[in-house]
Structure 1
Amino acid sequence: MQGEEVSRLMIATAIDGKPATRGRRKENALAQLIILQPEVAGTNCESVIAATSSLLEMSGVDNRIARISDLAGSDLTNKTIISFSELHRPLLSTLGATELETLKRITQDSAGLLWITRGANRTHSELAMFQDLARTLR
């Protein structure tokens, strides 16, 4: 793994400019959590996703596993997304029009997005494309 980036963390928080409602708590964003798996998931990826889902369930967080193509036309408002879509294979460089529109809605409408990728090096730089997209979206 020499030369391969081991980890990188980027955290960005959007501040809602709307005034808080009196006496009402905002709906818990984790109450509606979606785990995105790759369109073609390998055994290792499936086991990581299953373990993540199981740990969330044990913590009291209901979740469902889906592919980005499954979310076309879905209401993503107030949903929190954990994406493993680029864990082993690039997604952004291969997106079709429908998936790109879904990704756009995820970044605009969801309550939050955690995008998990591998560290990228020169031979796998397409796995780091979301980091640049995230910088642009901030």
Structure 2
Amino acid sequence: MTTELSPHRSEVLPVVRGLAAAAHGGPALAVTVLALLLVLAQGLDPARGVLVVAAVATGQLSIGWSNDLIDLARDRRAGRDDKPLATGAVPARLVRACCAVALLACVPLSLACGLLAGLVHLVCVAAGWAYNLGLKATLLSWLP
């Protein structure tokens, strides 16, 4: 029996796929896997490794979701049928909430990795956001 509190699996999977696509799941996963490989190469203890990977993953998710949110109107005007936000397959309100949660989680997760490492990571996340917020349309687009 499906209720509003327990949606049917066939209703949830497209939303999860849409969230992954709106987050630019491929690149976000690639960067997160790279962080995991670096964690393993450095021999970090498992708890610290999970912390580093979680910080990177949340930062990447926030950057990906912010990109699609910022570009939403343009993507709709262009008829981008490969963008789940533009097609309405995923509600912008949901992506906005996921983006905020990811960004809010990224800050303490990053800083828990150590002050210097955390600040470096947050500068990198800020660079991704700066690119999304307009640097991509300038001569400085290469900078982030």
Task: Return the TM-score normalized by structure 1.
Answer: 0.27
Please state which structure has a larger fraction of its residues in helix: 2
Task: Return the TM-score normalized by structure 2.
Answer: 0.27
Larger Cα-atom Rg: 2
Please state which structure has a larger fraction of its residues in strand: 1
